[in-house]
């Protein structure tokens, strides 16, 4: 299975993990996800640590998903060991303005193979 999704209702968080090739083969799953983002979703963690190869079509699909989540004011965190993926997709891609309205901006979360809380 190239994409696995798990919604954690108590945390209003969606965990997505991808494995194998990130290409047009996941387009149906990502498009379905874009069309059914839960209205109360606050965070989405996209785990790309098990992606073997990244294709342009996969990058385009990730950017489309990212754009849809940001429109919904969702915090998006992308985990990856690949420098190629980290270059085209930032680690923390959006911090909702309302969430941090009265706080100072937090330092960005940066995870790599050495600092990620659990092994990829």
**Residue 1: its pLDDT value, please?**
55
Is 14 contained in some domain?
yes
Of 96, 79, 119, the closest CA to residue 12 belongs to 96
Is 118 contained in some domain?
no
Is 119 contained in some domain?
no
Query: Mind listing the pLDDT tens digit for each residue in 65-93?
Result: 988 998 898 999 888 887 777 777 765 55
Is 116 contained in some domain?
no
Mean pLDDT over all residues of the chain?
78
Residue identified by tokens 């754009």 is 67
**Residue 68: its pLDDT value, please?**
92
Give 4 or 99, the one with higher predicted confidence. 4
% pLDDT > 90, the chain: 39
Is 31 contained in some domain?
yes
Q: Which residues constitute the domain of residue 29?
A: 3-94
Is residue 119's pLDDT more than 80?
Answer: no
CATH number of the domain where residue 53 is located: 3.30.750.24
**Residue 21: its pLDDT value, please?**
92
Query: Total domain count for the chain?
Result: 1
Query: pTM for this structure?
Result: 0.72
Is 41 contained in some domain?
yes
Is 103 contained in some domain?
no
Is 112 contained in some domain?
no
Query: Mind listing the pLDDT tens digit for each residue in 16-25?
Result: 999 999 999 9
């Amino acid at each position: 299975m190239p994409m696995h999704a798990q919604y954690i209702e108590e945390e209003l968080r969606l965990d997505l993990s991808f494995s194998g090739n990130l290409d047009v083969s996941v387009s149906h799953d990502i498009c379905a996800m874009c069309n059914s983002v839960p209205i109360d979703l606050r965070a989405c963690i996209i785990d790309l640590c098990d992606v073997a190869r990244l294709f342009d079509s996969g990058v385009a699909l990730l950017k489309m998903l990212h754009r849809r989540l940001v429109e919904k004011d969702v915090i998006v965190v992308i985990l990856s060991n690949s420098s190629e993926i980290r270059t085209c997709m930032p680690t923390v891609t959006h911090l909702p303005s309302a969430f941090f309205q009265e706080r100072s901006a937090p330092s960005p979360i940066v995870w790599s193979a050495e600092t990620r809380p659990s092994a990829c």
